[in-house]
Amino acid sequence: MSRGTTKTAAVAASAAAAMTTPAQLERLAEHLRKLRLLKSGERLEALLQDAAAQELPYAEFLEHVLGEEVAAKTSKNIAMRTAMARFPFVKPLETFEFAYQPSIDAKQVHTLASCHFIEHGDNVIVLGPPGVGKTHLAVSLGLKAIQAGYRVLFTTAASLIEKLTKAHTEGRLEEKLKLYTAPRLLIIDEIGYLPIDRVGANLFFQLISRRYERGPMILTSNQSFGAWGEVFGDRVIATAILDRLLHHAVTMNIRGNSYRLKDKLKAGLVRSHDDSSQPGGEI
């Protein structure tokens, strides 16, 4: 920009500032407060000055103001829904090292990240031994769902069953079932880590039936489907649960070494797993 145009812009800016009276600024601030356009309220004077200095056309100025407001509201909304989802940690998909876990089809995970499975009401089931990234993937896909505008809730199977059992004994089961059916995406982590009693298995089945063909879920387990009879302490219930879950589902079977042992493996302190010994291996 030449000296001449810089000078012209400065003159225009001060003229614009002069054109905006304190009373007018006050009224604008009040309107923005009432409309809850908080970001625009904070930035009002700076935005007006920029617009004057750059001699922005009206439409461009409006686009700028509204664009900033929408961006601020969107990130606030994402932060709020992320907190409501109760993830054990927040790790985006971009932090997942696919190179470390070649048994995972990266393309399949990226397709899931587009969230079409949520629109279709499909389930995603992630199987594999401890430490291979099941929870990380479930959280990462949950975060993508939040960015796409869905409500998400994360729970472990143990916590879910404990809460349903407590609600059942206190006569509040319906209320609790609603809590787990309301979010568009429910993530149930760690099926199979702890044994489930008959009442728990029954309550779990009730929840799966409610969400069946309506609410998509991501489930993770360290046990192959064949072992779910033992996990639920009842082969009939396990079959009924799997029947519903697998009707519309994508299953990812991770076979590999625990990421937690990555550095130890590299240093030769522990031996690498043989693939055939993985629990997720014989589905």
DSSP structural state of residue 26? H
- Minimum CB distance to ligand ADP, residue 201 (Å): 22
The structure tokens listed for 37 are 């356009």
Q: Name which of residues 62 to 121 contact ligand ADP (CB under 6 A).
A: 91, 95-97, 100-101
- Burial-class residue 224 by CB neighbours within 10 Å (0-12, 13-18, 19+): middle
The span of 33-41, 77-85, 127-135, 227-235 binding ligand ADP (CB under 6 A) equals: 127-135
Residue 90 CA: distances (Å) to CA of 43, 82, 132, 226:
30, 8, 17, 31
The structure tokens listed for 25 are 């600024």
List 188's β-bridge partners, or say none.
Answer: 155, 219
The structure tokens listed for 170 are 């206190």
Whose Cβ is closer to ligand ADP: residue 52's or residue 137's?
137
Residue 127, classed as helix, strand or coil, is strand
Residue 207 CA: distances (Å) to CA of 161, 183, 216:
10, 13, 12
Whose Cβ is closer to ligand ADP: residue 65's or residue 187's?
187
Residue 48 CA: distances (Å) to CA of 19, 29, 64:
11, 12, 11
Q: Name which of residues 110 to 149 contact Mg ion (CB under 5 A).
A: 135
Q: How many residues bind ligand ADP (CB under 6 A)?
A: 16
Query: Which of the listed partners (Mg ion, ligand ADP, none) does 45 bind, with a CB threshold of 5 to 8 Å by partner kind?
Result: none
> Which residues, other chains included, contact 15 with Cβ-Cβ below 8 Å and sequence gap of 6+?
52
**136 near ligand ADP (CB under 6 A):** yes
Whether residue 185 contacts residue 150, with contact meaning beta carbons closer than 8 Å, is answered with: yes
The span of 24-32, 59-67, 134-142, 234-242 binding ligand ADP (CB under 6 A) equals: 134-142
- Minimum CB distance to ligand ADP, residue 13 (Å): 49
Whose Cβ is closer to ligand ADP: residue 20's or residue 103's?
103
> Among candidates 143, 111, 145, 149, which has minimal Cα distance to 250?
111
Judged by CB under 6 A, which of 68, 84, 259, 273 binds ligand ADP? 259
Whose Cβ is closer to Mg ion: residue 135's or residue 155's?
135
What x/- string results for residues 216 through 255 when contact with ligand ADP is judged by CB under 6 A?
----------------------------------------
| Rounded distance between C-alpha atoms, residue 36 and residue 25, angstroms | 16
Query: Which of the listed partners (ligand ADP, Mg ion, none) does 73 bind, with a CB threshold of 5 to 8 Å by partner kind?
Result: none
- Minimum CB distance to ligand ADP, residue 185 (Å): 18
Q: Which residues bind Mg ion (CB under 5 A)?
A: 135
Q: Which residues bind ligand ADP (CB under 6 A)?
A: 91, 95-97, 100-101, 128, 130-136, 259-260
